[in-house]
Amino acid sequence: MVQIQCEALLFDMDGVLINSTPAVARVWSRWAIERGFKPEEVVARAHGRPSLTTVKEFLPDADHEAENREVERREIEDLEGVVPLPGALDLLSSLPDDRWTIVTSCTRALAEVRIRAAGLPLPKKLVTANDITNGKPHPDPYLKGASKLGFSPSDCVVLEDVPAGVRSGKTAGAKVIAFTTTVESAVLRRSGADWVLQSCADITLAAPAEPTRRLSTHHLRSDDKKLTLSLHLPG
């Protein structure tokens, strides 16, 4: 077991808190087949990135916004098998509300639908594809997440499951915990993950934080007691 300290946690959603893999595979496979692409290739590249990015890569000359709206509509309608991953609810429930948020490549509408379908709490300062210009692996999503909570990225820990997300967190200046829910441990380590675990069930809050003093959103918070996390490393 290893103990680490941080000011706040920035969670990716799919593959970290929620298992939406079957729904993602169904929607993108159907989209790929209809447009003459290999489903496995499209699904692999779609995971962990904004859907608009995937649409642009495969259909550079299409009406990207229209294609993206269709993908989003299908994803919102397909919630079969969307469930919380092990330990997700327990970990989120143990954290102070102002010390965590979700930073996802989904649109806000899709993120809210999946969070509710999985029975997880909706963070007050959710960051989605609607809030950023450059998606993962760019650092913008996690820079935005840290800023919304009022902390420096270097004082935050990012929780991810795919290389694009790991690189986004590292480039933003955060430490990164990666889960082996989507790709193998070696791939995550090569992407820069600081620690590799199986799921949120391998993380416990060792020392609850004291209530925080509210400061102006224009100033970084530096007087808060840090969170102490216990990481139960495999093997």
**Can you tell me the distance from the alpha carbon of 64 to that of 84, in angstroms, rounded to the nearest whole number?**
31
Catalytic residue at 161?
Answer: no
Q: Find the catalytic residue in 12, 98, 155, 161.
A: 12
Here the tokens at position 207 are 């020392």
Cα angle 158-156-129, degrees, rounded to a multiple of 5: 50
Q: Find the catalytic residue in 14, 98, 202, 224.
A: 14
Query: What string of DSSP letters covers 54-91?
Result: HHHHH-TTS-HHHHHHHHHHHHHH--TT-EEPTTHHHH
Here the tokens at position 150 are 């009022």
* Number of other CB atoms surrounding residue 225 within 10 Å: 14
Backbone angles phi, psi at 188, to 5 degrees: -65, -40
Catalytic residue at 12?
Answer: yes
Catalytic residue list: 12, 14
